[in-house]
A and B are shown apart, each in its own frame.
Chain A
Amino acid sequence: GAVVSQHPSRVICKSGTSVKIECRSLDFQATTMFWYRQFPKQSLMLMATSNEGSKATYEQGVEKDKFLINHASLTLSTLTVTSAHPEDSSFYICSAMIGSDSYEQYFGPGTRLTVT
Chain B
Amino acid sequence: LAKTTQPISMDSYEGQEVNITCSHNNIATNDYITWYQQFPSQGPRFIIQGYKTKVTNEVASLFIPADRKSSTLSLPRVSLSDTAVYYCLVGDQAGTALIFGKGTTLSVSS
Chain A residues within 8 Å of B, Cβ to Cβ: 1, 4, 6, 32, 34, 36, 43-46, 49, 91, 93, 95, 97, 99-110, 112
Contacts and interface: CB of A to CB of B under 8 A. Distances in A.
Q: How large is the interface on B (under 10, 10 to 19, 20 to 34, 35 or more residues)?
A: 20 to 34
A104 B32 CA distance: 10
B44 A107 contact: yes
Nearest to A48: B97
Chain A contact residues: helix, strand, loop or mixed = strand
Interface stretch (B15-23, B63-71, B74-82, B87-95): B87-95
A103 B30 CA distance: 11
Interface in B40-69: 41-46, 49
Contacts of A105: 46, 97-98
Contacts of B13: none
A42 B36 CA distance: 15
Question: B32, B41, B97, B101 — which one has the most chain A CB atoms within 10 A of its CB?
Answer: B97
Contacts of A44: 44, 100
B34 A104 contact: yes
Question: A6, A107, A112 — which one has the most chain B CB atoms within 10 A of its CB?
Answer: A107
Top 3 A-B pairs, shortest CB-CB distance: A107-B43, A100-B95, A44-B100
Given A49-B97, A100-B94, A109 B43 contact: yes
